[in-house]
Amino acid sequence: MRILLLIKRFNFGGSENHVRELANSLTANGHQVWICSRRGRQTERLDPQIHFHSFHLNDFKLPWQIFQLMAFMRQHNIELIHAHQRLAIKFGALLSMLLGIPVVATVHGKTRHDLGGWLLRKNLTRVIFVSCCILHRAARFKELRSKSVFIPNSIIPAPMTRNVYSDNLFYIARMDKHHSALLLMLIRQVIPELLCHVPNLTFTIIGDGRKSDIVRKACQAINQTAGRNIIRCLGFQPDPAQHFANASLLMGVGRSALLALAHGVPVLSLNDHHLGALITSANARQFMNNNFVQVSGLPPTPQRVKAELWPFWEDRGRWAVESQLVREMVHQQLMVENITHQIEHLYQTAMFEKAVAKKKVTIADSAPALTAIE
C-alpha cells in the first residue's frame, strides 16, 4: 500500500511517538509510507526508506493547503490517509471527500475535540480509539458507531530494568498547562512530604514545552531549600528510557506509562484529571484498555497521591515481582508487530469498502435512464 500519515506536529508526545513507530513498522512490512508534518525531532528516528514531507498544517491556510496536498497525493499515487491530531484529521476528511480515497483517523484525545463536527465525522472511513472508555463515549455520535474500533498504542521490545529499590521517581510529559499544573503540585506539596520518610528521594522530570521555565524555577527553589539536587529537569530526551537505569517508579499515563512498564518500571497511573492506582498484574488489562488512565479515578490531591504511593515503599519486594509480571503482559499484548497487523487489516477493510462504494456510484451513474411507456 501507498500510505500517507498526516500529523500536525512531529516532536515529543504520545501521538508523535506512535506515528514514528507505526511508520517504521509499516515500512518494515513492505508498504510505502509518506509522512506530512511540521519537521520535528522524531524525523531523526525514522527508517531511511520513509518519505518525509515537511508541511505546516494551518487552519487559516486550509483552502490553499488542501489544493497543495491534493497535488501531492496525486503525484505520489497515495492510496490511503491515516490522520492523527485534530487538524490533521480535519484535513484528512476533506481530502477523502475531494479525492474519494479512504481516510483512517486515530483519536489520541477527546472525540469532540479530535473529530470536529458532524460532516467530518461522517466522511471518515474508519476511526481508531486508543481507549475503550473514549470509544464507548463516542457511541453518542451515530455517524461513528459502525466505523469505530479499539486498537491500543504499541511499544517496541524493551530490556528489563531492575531498579525498584532505588528512590528515584520519574515523570515524562510535554510541559503544557495541564502537565505543568500537576507537576507544580507534586514539586511543592508532595515531594517535600515524601522526603520526611524517604530521605534519599530524587525526582526526575523529562520533557519540554511552553511551561518548562515555570517548572524549572519551582525545582530550583526546592533544591536550594534542601541543599542538594533532589529534582532534575532533563528537558527533551530523544530516548527517555535511557534514563530508566535509575528509575524506581514512574507517575503518569498513556505513552510514558507504557514505556516504563515495558522496561519493568512500576507505574502509578496519574494525570491532572484522574488519580489511579499502582499498576499490577491484576489490574493491568483494565489499564491497558484505557491507555493507562483510571477513568473513574478522582482528581489528584497531595494527600491522595501520597496515599497511593505508600504501598510502594512498604513492600518493595512485591513490586519487584509485579513489575516483571506486568512487563510480560505488555510485551504479549502491545508489541508493535501485533498492533501494526491490526491496523493493516483495518486499512484493507477501509480500502475495500471505499472501492465498493465507488463501484456502486459508477454503476448508478452509467445506468440507462428508464423511458416511460405510453
CATH topology of domain 2-154+335-366: Rossmann fold (3.40.50)
Give pLDDT, residue 298. Answer: 94
CATH 3.40.50.2000 residue ranges in the chain? 2-154+335-366, 168-333
Q: Which pTM was predicted?
A: 0.88
- Residue 104's nearest CA partner among 77, 118, 123 is 123
Q: Which residues pair with 84 in a beta bridge?
A: 7, 106
Architecture of domain 168-333: 3-Layer(aba) Sandwich (3.40)
Give pLDDT, residue 25. Answer: 97
Grid cell in block for residue 14: 504520545
Cβ-defined contacts of 107-110 (< 8 Å, 24+): 107/134, 107/138, 108/14, 108/15, 108/18, 108/84, 110/134
Give pLDDT, residue 365. Answer: 54
Q: Give the Cα separation of 223 and 184 in Å (integer).
A: 14
- For 5, 23, 269, 337, 344, the CA distances from 26, given in Å and listed in that order, are 11, 5, 30, 9, 8
Cα atoms found within 13 Å of the Cα of residue 197, Cβ hemisphere only: 12
Per-block mean pLDDT, blocks of 10 residues, the chain (374 long): 94 86 96 94 91 94 95 96 94 93 92 84 93 92 92 90 86 90 96 92 93 94 92 89 90 94 95 95 95 93 95 90 95 94 96 79 49 34
What contacts 92, CB < 8 A, 6 or more positions away? 6, 81, 82, 83, 103, 105, 124
Total Cβ atoms within 10 A of residue 197 = 11
